[in-house]
Chain A
Amino acid sequence: MRSIVVLAALAVASLPGRAADVSIVLSDIGPAYQEAAQAAELSLAGLAKTTRIAADAFDQAAQPAPSVIVTLGTRAFRAAIANGPRTPVIAALIPRAAYELELKNAPREAPAGPSTAVFLDQPIARQLHLVRLLLPTKKRIGLLVSPATQNLVRPMESAARPRGLAITHEIVSDSQQISAVLSRLLEASEVLLALPDPRIYNPGTIHNILLSALRARQPLIGFSEAYVRAGALAAVYSTPQQAGRQAAEIAARAIAGIALPPPQDPQAFTVRVNEILARSLGLQLEPEEAIAANLQRMERER
């Protein structure tokens, strides 16, 4: 918070004549985008004039160029880079894979301006720390991956090994086979870690996955609050507000003329646990705030 105040002073000092303009482009009207936009606006209040624009209505050429563009969601980012803006673009509410794919697929004729991102994906270390904190006796983390997320296995393995954890994974190539593949995985794993891979984890498959995991008395660690409500033991995720604030901080630096940082992991995060499930599994868990504080401490210690 203090840094924003300092930056605000910097920004005011460097741009005495004109207030900075920040366009906030939203992929969709859904609550996640609204909440992130609101958080970004609050953080930038007094520092820049913010304008919300729907991704569909976003037209780079039609308006005076803003100082900075904050995009919320993949579609918004695609729209913002489509016309090759010269203004810096800060993408939030976007998964790492989507960000990289959009950059790669951006039209070549108009070279894209500088961009950066605040990813939705939690850093691997944070997810592993959560497993260790909640389930100190469990060593084998099971991953169900599709060909699209298979590449995550190796970095997971390298991050797990020094922490005394092991990754065991199974590949689902056809969603019809989830049952068989999952039961193979559950024979080898002690806890499941869900990856944001809609080919495997979606509202149609979650029944099978959670019920099979419960039968094997293996908890699932999810990546959103919806997972905890559905029956995951816990989830670590960044709320839209947290992502919006982080994007706004980068925007404030950009307004002050500081170059965009490289794409980054979400800093602030939230931990949710399913106390009723924990009790049913015979686990005694600390309160959510204490777990989050412990996770932060573990990250500082690294």
Chain B
Amino acid sequence: MAHTDRTKSSLLLACLACMGRDVCAQQASETAFFEELPVVLSASRLPQSLANTPGAVTVIDRELIRATGTRDLARLLRLVPGFTVPQSRGHAYHPSYHGLGAEYPNRMQVLIDGRSVYTPYFIGGVDWAGLPVTIDEIERIEVLRGSNSATYGSNAFLGVVNIVTRHSAQDEGNSVRAAAGNTQIRDFGFRHGGQSGNFSYRVNGEYLSDTGFRSSLDDRSGATLTLRGDYRPSGDQELTLLAGVHEGSRGFGFAGTPANTNGERNAKYTTGFAHFRWRRQLGAGSEISVGYYHNRERTQEAWTVTAPPFFPVIPVDFDRNSVRDNVDFQHIVALAPGLRVVWGAELRRDALESTRLFATTGADSQRLARLYGNAEWHALASLVVNGGAMLEKYSAHKAELAPRLFVNWHVAENHTLRAGASRAYRAPSLFEEHGDIRFSSGGFLLQQNFTPPGSLRPERIDARELGYLGRFPRWNGTLDVRLYHERIVDFIADRGVPSPLVPPPLFSPVTAQAFNSATPIVSRGVEAHLRVRPFESTDLLLGYAHMRIRGAPGSLDRSVPGSSASLTWIQRYPGRFGSTLTVYRTLAYQWGGGARPTPAYTAYDARVSYQTAALGKPAEFALVLLNQGRAHEELTWSDSQGPTVVSRQAYVTARLEF
């Protein structure tokens, strides 16, 4: 009973220390034992165990994001096997999974908290530099490698990048951070979070700026402001509001191009969104949620082409506006022990305005309706079956069904084999189907850059995979190996055709037009992803992919490097020092959309950090080095002057929490 006296005295002390009597009374009563609590880890918050997932998943968590010191989200995808992340002038990243990408890779879905940021813009795809999200608010990025249309719809044709932000209740307090370095890096960011009763909120702000490549106009500056509020009217309900804006400017073009056809200019980007979600827990493992979001994007990109004496001033622009409204409903239900079903429906409207992209109509829009269901069934203790499908209907096309079936077999404890097959469709984007770009001066049609194809069929992919997931408790590690075979028919690409409208002798009569490729594409390969923590202080990540494409139009067979690999070593030292070293190796590849071949390269990123509480509050200082090693060549468009060579970047960062 020796500790009983201590119990009494410290309880008294605690009570003396209490500010209010209520707390004291509560302290020494049974309330805590019978208190109702809000349902926090509701069904939709719980990721499926990797061993039961229908497919391969790479998770980039907050620690890893911070350890890399990255300022650009797209760069993180270089750590994911199977990804190629070309970078070109105008601070543009063009990541794609399994290649087949051009200027706007459009076969991969990107979601932020379930909100699709796959833009209806231009050819479709994602504007990575203009995402209205700050790096600081990201909890984790789940990369679902492989076709995932049965759950995420048509845009998840090749894969999904799922960005999940932190719950506002996790971020009470304030932080500020800043970065400065060569290439005129000047960043500033802040966070403020608060809580009051059932309501918590957070505001994040970020300003990023640098001049990028030295070899071409690549500067960018942009500010992002996001807001999140979570309100719990009762223990089993939660209302979440997310909103954000991004405004930025990026430099494009070259000085002295003939007739200034690709003249220097600044493109201005404005994006904004508002997203509501209501969740209600219905019982153990069951949940319904209803969501609505509104995305808005606006780009202004204008310059002047001069072709004296006849056409001294030809105004050129690629201005565009897009608006998306989306409502969704989802129901997760545990039908029986070991049988869980997720089903839902979604309605969407995309509208795109651009007199440049749609020369005759000036605008285009489409509607989308989806109905989906997926079941996770633990058929045996060692066998999990995931089966499901999505029925999707775009306004201009007939409904398509995308089914998927996966079997995960837990061969032994910590060792899982999986096999799966899926079929998916990608509807042509508004631009692929109706894009009509014309440049005129004084009533003369000088050039038609893009001609509508009349009609296009959706692309179809049949994907099969065999996978292995091993856990190695002794090394604190996981190994995922994936063998894939993807066959794509009716692949949509564009090709040069003679324009029916432009009179030949003066300007180029050739115009681009989207078409369905007659040859099926076969994409095959093997990927591996290893993450181990052999010692408490050490993390090692290894990604490797070997990929082949046959049958793709143009140069797209070469759009995957034969092999690519990345190795990341994170080390924590006594005394609060830390270091990260990443090595990338990519063999030569040639991106689509008129890109020149990109030679093979090896590059290094490094970061050294020091954490301290010397100022009375937690603080972290770091030095980050990017693109080290021999300066390598990145994506160069054939219209640009000279190769695009990366700049070695070095910057210091400081972060203070208070």
Q: Hey, which bits of chain A sit against chain B, CB under 8 A?
A: 27, 30, 32, 73-75, 93-98, 100-102, 104, 120, 137, 146-148, 150-151, 154-155, 176, 178-180, 196-199, 201-204, 206-208, 210-212, 214-215, 223-224, 226-227, 229-231, 237, 240, 274-277, 279-282, 284
What is the number of residues of chain B that contact chain A, defined by CB distance less than 8 Å? 67
What are 25 contact pairs spanning A and B, CB under 8 A?
A100-B8, A101-B11, A101-B28, A146-B14, A147-B17, A148-B11, A180-B173, A196-B32, A197-B27, A198-B27, A199-B23, A206-B37, A206-B38, A207-B200, A211-B167, A214-B46, A229-B37, A230-B40, A231-B41, A274-B41, A275-B284, A275-B337, A276-B46, A276-B285, A279-B52
Q: Is the CB of B3 within 8 A of A155?
A: yes
Q: Is the CB of B3 within 8 A of A229?
A: no
- From residue B318, how far is it (CB to closest CB) to chain A in Å? 41
Compute how far the CA of A289 lies from the CA of B197 in the bound complex, rounded to whole angstroms. Answer: 37
Nearest A residue (CB) for B62: A215
Q: Is the CB of B13 within 8 A of A147?
A: yes
Compute how far the CA of A229 lies from the CA of B35 in the bound complex, rounded to whole angstroms. Answer: 12
- From residue B474, how far is it (CB to closest CB) to chain A in Å? 10
0/1 string, B116-157, CB within 8 A of A gives 1 = 000000000000000000000001100000000000000000
Q: Which of B7, B140, B337 lies in contact with A100, CB distance below 8 A?
A: B7
Q: Is the CB of B51 within 8 A of A227?
A: no
Nearest A residue (CB) for B416: A282
- From residue A208, how far is it (CB to closest CB) to chain B in Å? 5
Compute how far the CA of A148 lies from the CA of B29 in the bound complex, rounded to whole angstroms. Answer: 13
Which A residues are CB-close (under 8 A) to B15? 148
Which A residues are CB-close (under 8 A) to B638? none
Compute how far the CA of A281 lies from the CA of B293 in the bound complex, rounded to whole angstroms. Answer: 31
Which A residues are CB-close (under 8 A) to B46? 214, 276-277, 280
Compute how far the CA of A216 lies from the CA of B477 in the bound complex, rounded to whole angstroms. Answer: 14
5 other contacts beyond A97-B27, A151-B7, with CB at 8 A cut-off? A74-B28, A93-B33, A179-B173, A224-B33, A280-B46
Which B residues are CB-close (under 8 A) to A146? 14
Which B residues are CB-close (under 8 A) to A231? 39-42, 45
0/1 string, B171-203, CB within 8 A of A gives 1 = 111000000000000000000000101101000
Q: Hey, which bits of chain B sit against chain A, CB under 8 A?
A: 3-4, 6-8, 10-15, 17, 23, 26-43, 45-52, 61-62, 139-140, 166-167, 169-173, 195, 197-198, 200, 230, 235, 284-285, 334, 337, 340, 378, 381, 471, 473, 618, 657
- From residue B392, how far is it (CB to closest CB) to chain A in Å? 28
Q: Which of B33, B36, B337 lies in contact with A237, CB distance below 8 A?
A: B33
Closest 8 CB pairs of A and B: A231-B41, A148-B14, A207-B169, A230-B37, A282-B49, A196-B32, A280-B46, A98-B28
- From residue B75, how far is it (CB to closest CB) to chain A in Å? 22
Known: A176-B172, A279-B52, A280-B46. A148 touches B27 (CB 8 A): yes
- From residue B1, how far is it (CB to closest CB) to chain A in Å? 10
Q: Is the CB of A137 within 8 A of B473?
A: yes
Q: Is the CB of A281 within 8 A of B172?
A: no
Q: Is the CB of A73 within 8 A of B10?
A: no
Q: Is the CB of B30 within 8 A of A210?
A: no
SS class of chain A's interface: helix, strand, loop or mixed?
helix
Q: Which of B28, B39, B45, B48 lies in contact with A229, CB distance below 8 A?
A: B39
Q: Is the CB of B49 within 8 A of A98?
A: no
Nearest A residue (CB) for B197: A204
Which B residues are CB-close (under 8 A) to A155? 3
Q: Which of A147, A211, A212, A240 lies in contact with B14, CB distance below 8 A?
A: A147
Q: Is the CB of B30 within 8 A of A120?
A: yes
Q: Is the CB of B49 within 8 A of A198?
A: no
- From residue B302, how far is it (CB to closest CB) to chain A in Å? 45
- From residue A25, how far is it (CB to closest CB) to chain B in Å? 14
- From residue A230, how far is it (CB to closest CB) to chain B in Å? 4
Compute how far the CA of A229 lies from the CA of B17 in the bound complex, rounded to whole angstroms. Answer: 32
Interface core residue of B35, B41, B230 (most chain A CB under 10 Å): B41
Nearest B residue (CB) for A98: B28
Nearest B residue (CB) for A30: B34
Q: Is the CB of B195 within 8 A of A151?
A: no
Which A residues are CB-close (under 8 A) to B52? 279, 282
- From residue B406, how far is it (CB to closest CB) to chain A in Å? 16
- From residue A131, how far is it (CB to closest CB) to chain B in Å? 17
Q: Is the CB of A226 within 8 A of B36?
A: yes
Known: A97-B11, A100-B8, A151-B6. A230 touches B62 (CB 8 A): no
